[in-house]
Amino acid sequence: MFEKFEQEFFNKLADVLEKQFPKGKCKERGAALVLNSMANIFLKDILKQIEKQISQNFEDGHLDGWIAACSEIKKRIEEMKNETKKN
Query: What is the residue extent of each domain of the chain?
Result: 3-62
Q: What is the pLDDT of residue 14?
A: 92
Digitized pLDDT (tens) for each residue of the chain, 87 residues in all: 788 888 999 999 999 999 999 999 989 999 999 999 999 999 999 998 988 888 887 777 776 667 777 777 888 888 888 877 775
pLDDT on residue 86: 73
**If you ran DSSP here, which 8-state letter would residue 49 be given?**
H
pLDDT score of 87 = 59
